[in-house]
Amino acid sequence: MLTVGEALDGAARRYPDKVALIFGDQQRTYRQVVARANQMAWLMLRQGLKPGDRVALLLPNGLAMAEAYFALAKAGVVGVPLNLRWQPGEILYAIRDADVSLVLADRELAPLVSGAAGMIPVFYTGGYPEDPDHDWEALADREPSTAPPVTVRDSDPWVIVYTSGTTGRPKGAVRSHFSNVMIALSLVSELGITHDDVGFAILPMFHVNSMWFVTLSLAVGATCVIYAHRAFHPQHVIDAMNHHRVTYSMFVPSLLTFLADAVEQGKIDPTALRVMMTSSAPLDVTLRDRILKGFPKVALYDVYGSTEYGAVTIIRHQLGGVLGSVGYPVIGQEVRILDEHREPVPWGTVGELYVRGPSLMTEYWRKPEATREVFTEDGFLTVGDMGYMTEEGLIYLVDRKQDMIIVAGENVYPTEVENVLLSHPAVALAAVVGVPDPRRGERVAAMVVVREGHTLDVRELEALVRRELADYKRPYAIRVVDSLPMGPAAKVVRRLAREQWLALEQES
């Protein structure tokens, strides 16, 4: 069977004493990672968890987060990774929605889960001597390092990953062991990653990108370096790449700009890196060419996917090559472009993108109606992205998941932000749009119409979004306007609202 735990065990049998994980000055061999995952799995079972129960993970990048993912796989328990940038209310919503039985949190993040502490057991990593009964790592030290007697099937869920919804509250995408291992195997095949490589997991590990990256690395027997700083700084990335001779990694386009600057300034050795992946936002021709010229050994790939899909398409960039396309379907993926009646459209015609393959989510957690809305009867899944396919099979996207905004790789759905703004009694209408930003790709902007008979101080809205939303979701500016463009269904037309915002920017 293709479970995440079996993938790790297979690599450990082949490379038991090879370094599997590096985090700062800490290292773990494959043998040690397996032993620690087994100990943590035993501890989960000792706490009364049963296969299929949910454990929330509020952990920064580090060995504990990586080992927790593999411990879940060994115990048959389902992980619910929580975004460290969420506010306590957002975290509590996910914990309640997933019906979590236990929370595993970093001790420095304890205030974020204070609301859950009285409801369910909360354990802490990073040392917790003030309460030894809740010191996760000290408790795990006492457990056996052999595998617990749990049968895990590859169809069993491994994680539930919350993805912000277009209608407000996030939904939990249920992902099986099989789907996650297949993402790793397909990308290994497409990219040519082997046990001789050194990977660098830069993005936060509560994101699917880094979750899949670590799984990929350890499934194939490579060494995976984990970004070792709580606060992100490009120089830390450059230092780690030079020190560890990193050969492959995943980057958002904003970070590629820093790498292009660094190689042109002689601050990074370009000879080790051979595979660069990027996602979340399209590359422009200037940045693409700077990377390919600055790193002569690099194969630069753009990977398109989502929390629900996994990796869908891939394209290798070339100097003077195709730009704007997300490429061809990844091995094992079948892509269709369908109209509003779910019928195929002609080549070059824009429609909704549907995917069928081994890496899809199983369902939205406890949301059967939402699941039925996105799956066809024959197993194709859509997340609402619009695009077209050429006769040669190249796929182009024209609209990412309706009105989604991508801020430095983080997805922001306008409806969620608008709902917070509309909760203020003085706000009659709200429109949230994405506007270009040279570093982040996009940033969030908001316009509101004041309810008749009310007055509004924008500072009240700023305080409201600070209290209710993660920092990357908050509008960098909120404007009060007299009106917003409305469609025939009496809803704000965000495309026109964005044009309205840009016009106001030019005037100011």
At residue 508, the pLDDT reads: 75
The CATH number of residue 37's host domain is: 3.40.50.12780
What residues make up the domain containing 471? 411-507
At residue 281, the pLDDT reads: 64
pLDDT tens-digit profile of 7-47? Answer: 999 999 999 999 999 999 999 999 999 999 999 999 999 99
Confidence of residue 488 (pLDDT cuts 50, 70, 90): very low
Interior/surface letters 360-373, b for 16+ CB within 10 angstroms, e for the rest: bbbbbbebeeebee
Tally: H helices and E strands in the chain: 15, 25
Reduce the DSSP state of residue 371 to 3 states and report it: helix
Percentage of the chain lying above the pLDDT 90 cut: 76
Distance CA 333, CA 185 (A): 13
pLDDT tens-digit profile of 69-101? Answer: 999 999 999 999 999 989 999 999 999 999 999
Residue 387 is assigned to a structural domain of this protein: no
Residue 14 is assigned to a structural domain of this protein: yes
Distance CA 450, CA 18 (A): 62
Residue 289 is assigned to a structural domain of this protein: no
Domains identified in the chain, total number: 2
pLDDT tens-digit profile of 377-425? Answer: 999 999 988 889 999 999 998 765 567 788 887 878 787 888 889 889 8
Q: Is the pLDDT of residue 280 over 70?
A: no
User: Last residue of a domain, which of 177, 201, 232?
Assistant: 232
Please name every residue paired with 251 in a beta bridge, in sequence order, or none if there are none: 278
> How many CA atoms lie less than 13 Å away from 92 in the CB half-sphere?
15
At residue 402, the pLDDT reads: 60
At residue 337, the pLDDT reads: 97
Residue 486 is assigned to a structural domain of this protein: yes
Residue 173 is assigned to a structural domain of this protein: yes
Q: Give the mean pLDDT of 208-224.
A: 95
136 by Cβ neighbours in 10 Å (0-12 / 13-18 / 19+) ranks as: buried
When the pLDDT of each residue in the chain is averaged and rounded to a whole number, the result is 92
User: Last residue of a domain, which of 232, 250, 284?
Assistant: 232
Q: Is the pLDDT of residue 257 over 90?
A: no
Residue 317 is assigned to a structural domain of this protein: no
At residue 507, the pLDDT reads: 85
Confidence of residue 311 (pLDDT cuts 50, 70, 90): very high
What are the start-end ranges of the E strands in 73-167? 78-81, 102-106, 122-125, 157-165
Residue 279 is assigned to a structural domain of this protein: no
Distance CA 102, CA 104 (A): 7
Instruction: Report the 10 Å Cβ neighbour count for 394.
Output: 16
The CATH number of residue 457's host domain is: 3.30.300.30
At residue 489, the pLDDT reads: 46
Q: Give the mean pLDDT of 132-151.
A: 97
Q: Is the pLDDT of residue 315 over 90?
A: yes
Interior/surface letters 62-96, b for 16+ CB within 10 angstroms, e for the rest: bbbbbbbbbbbbbbbbbbbbbbbebbeebbbebbe
Residue 261 is assigned to a structural domain of this protein: no
Q: Is the pLDDT of residue 165 over 60?
A: no
User: Last residue of a domain, which of 232, 250, 276?
Assistant: 232
